Amino acid sequence: MHDPTLSEFQQFIRDRYQETDEARGPARTFLWFSEEIGELAEALARRERGDGDDANLREEFADVLAWLTTLANITGVDLAAAVHNKYVANGGPQGTK
């Protein structure tokens, strides 16, 4: 796969994992997502201490994105449309995020 767009990545995750993800459901999937956020937090903390592993940090970011995408898939959210509507359309949100 080339560098995918957000829509392509969401479709890739859907095609590969949808049956398993649907069976797990949103609540249990959110727990997995939360665990991945914790692992990302640990990787960031190691980096701040100076003993981080850049490859691991990249992997944790990818895992968080994959689980967020899974949540979007099983709840019927088109991530690209959501990002466009919130951050691109009409000049995006005002103020800071």
Q: Is the distance from CB of 64 to CB of 2 less than 8 angstroms? A: no
Q: pLDDT tens digits, residue range 25-43?
A: 999 999 999 999 999 999 9
For residues 11-18, average pLDDT: 98
Higher pLDDT pick, 52 / 67: 67
Tokens 């019927």 locate to: 76
Domains belonging to the chain, first-starting first, are 6-76 (1.10.287.1080)
